[in-house]
Amino acid sequence: MPVFLNTHDADFEAAFVALLGAKREDAPDVDEAVAAIIADVRARGDQAVIELTARFDRLHLTPETLAFSAEEIAAECAKVSAEDRAALELAAERIRAYHVRQMPEDQRWTDPEGASLGWRWTPVSAAGLYVPGGLASYPSSVLMNAIPARVAGVERLVICAPTPGGVANPLVLLAAKIAGVETIYRIGGAQAIAAMAYGTATIAPVDKITGPGNAYVAAAKRRVFGRVGIDMIAGPSEILVIADAANDPDWIALDLLSQAEHDESAQSILITDDAGFARAVVAAVEARLQTLERRAIAGASWRDFGAVIVVRDLAEAAALSNRVAPEHLELCVDDPEGLAMQITHAGAIFLGQWTPEAIGDYVGGPNHVLPTARSARFSSGLSVMDFLKRTTMARMTPAALRAIGPSAERLAISESLQAHGLSVRARLERLNEVRDE
């Protein structure tokens, strides 16, 4: 059964702190193994990747078959039904339209001293997108990672998508094609991250790696950060629903289960100001669990990490939500816009009872790659900005240097950086010579 908390209880604060601190990541200490894999790929390149793929994915490759051929991609895409293709194309269109609006503008201006200042945005040259394989193979994640990169203007995009036993997911390949990605490597795990970060004879290195993965992938991304950029270190999925008694308990139960079915370590939390409604939702969850294909996974998640919190009012609910800083936050209340104004920490907010989180996973438009494990306190979901770099611009005129240069020289002297100060002083002296002539 999930944890039941009530803010009226004397021990609520201690119980809530324990809930926040509970470790959900079911991952052994994999860092040592990942370090060895990365070192092996750096030393032996393609051969290491091929041997590791045979060991972990039961797939025997050669340098020539590391990537899907154009013919293989076409053949797999042809297996997708017209209805599924249409759904992917609709999702891609909406995701693209949303992310186009995120593109920032270059700026350039002249300040009162006559200096020209500004910035410009340029994309990373190459990005590698990791797509999990097996049961966690999601074509929607391909769209959510690749489309923002394309909108940003990334020139070279590659995907690493493991195919255990050689079985590909046609929807993943079609999603890649729709998003404009032509190079898809059938490799995964820490070896795929290492190959994209450091390169091999066959796989050219990239500048940024994004996409979810298991504990080995997460550890590998952590280790290669600095050599390349990464999006985030993602943990198990999570949802928090703030709902009042005017909702259908079954709808809220399904929303909670929509994340619980992802992973046994996923977390679903309900906060409500009505104890009777809380009980009705729990009963609905238990009933729906009996009907789900992934009931074993969803049941374990709900049993081990689920929580139901009864609060005095919705203001208290918002305050608790900000402490949780959830990946997904549903506001199923009479005035969701008003309540949203009280929310400062959340990866994504879904407003009103007609906006289930599942819409955001597929066709809403905003990105579904979001911060987990309370990291929404300081980070954001994947966006076009993850594939762009801001370069600042500055140009001094003689008048501008004369106006602000002495202060720069003064600060350089205060920091005992003589050459810094002299580089400014030499120019100021030249300006003085010209003025005296």
Integer Cα distance of 281 and 365 in angstroms:
29
Integer Cα distance of 283 and 230 in angstroms:
41
Only one residue has tokens 């609006």, namely 101
Integer Cα distance of 330 and 324 in angstroms:
13
Closest CA to 196 of 155, 236, 225: 225
Residue 126 β-bridge partners: 156
Hey, what amino acid is at 107? Answer: Q
Active site residue 8: no
Per-residue tokens: 18: 């324990």
Catalytic residue (one of 238, 261, 264, 327): 327
On whether the CB atoms of residues 273 and 313 are closer than 8 A, the answer is: yes
Active site residue 328: yes
Residue 120 β-bridge partners: 391
The number of residues making up the chain comes to 437
C-alpha 256: how far from chain center: 21
Provide DSSP, 55-118: HHH-----GGGSB--HHHHHHHHTTS-HHHHHHHHHHHHHHHHHHHTT----EEEE-TTS-EEE
Integer Cα distance of 60 and 57 in angstroms:
9
Catalytic residue (one of 76, 261, 262, 328): 328
Closest CA to 267 of 234, 296, 243, 303: 303
C-alpha 66: how far from chain center: 26
C-alpha 392: how far from chain center: 26
Coil, strand or helix at 121:
strand
Q: CB under 8 Å to 417, separation ≥6 — which residues?
A: none
Query: What are the E-state strand segments in 286-387?
Result: 307-310, 328-332, 348-351
Active-site residue list: 327-328
